[in-house]
Amino acid sequence: MITAAGLLSEIGSVPYSVTEHAAVGLAESLSITYGDQGIKVFALCPQAARTALTSTNEGGVAAVDGLMEPDQLVEAVFACLKKKEFLILLHPEVKLYMQRKTSDYDRWLQGMRRLQGRFFSGEPLKKP
């Protein structure tokens, strides 16, 4: 499993962000290399799910769009696998964020810096 950080970056953790980006690149390369040989590769990229880890920090910045419950996550994964699409995006916002990132990279970077500022200032991140 990769996370949305592999597509969007993780605020506050350069090593995590770089590792997740590498995992997306690996999954892409495997799909390109072996896809025509019948080997299907998927990149599961959720934002945040309720787990023991997220219970201690409320999901951090990844939970800005809410935490997905484990049973919701499982159902969504199976629904996405049936579609046989490479990217399994369980939070619909991730696709929108990716589109914004690729359509205007500088604006996206500026928005991520604003989000980082809010995160480190302790300002609430949840949407109203």
Please report whether residue 128 resides in a domain: no
For residue 17, the model assigns a pLDDT of 92
Could you tell me the CATH number of the domain that includes residue 92? 3.40.50.720
**Hey, CA dihedral for 10, 125, 122, 67, is it positive or negative?**
negative
Domain hosting 88: range is 5-121
**Stretch among 18-32, 96-110, 114-128 having the lowest mean pLDDT:** 114-128
* pLDDT tens by residue, 75-106: 888 888 899 889 998 888 899 999 999 999 99
User: How many folded domains does the chain comprise?
Assistant: 1
Please report whether residue 127 resides in a domain: no
Q: Is pTM beyond 0.75 here? A: yes
- The closest of 45, 56, 49 to 90, measured between CA atoms, is 45
Given a cut of 70, whether residue 35 has pLDDT beyond it is yes
Cα–Cα distances in angstroms (integers) from residue 95 to residues 4, 15, 33, 46, 117, in the given order: 10, 23, 24, 11, 23
For residue 53, the model assigns a pLDDT of 66
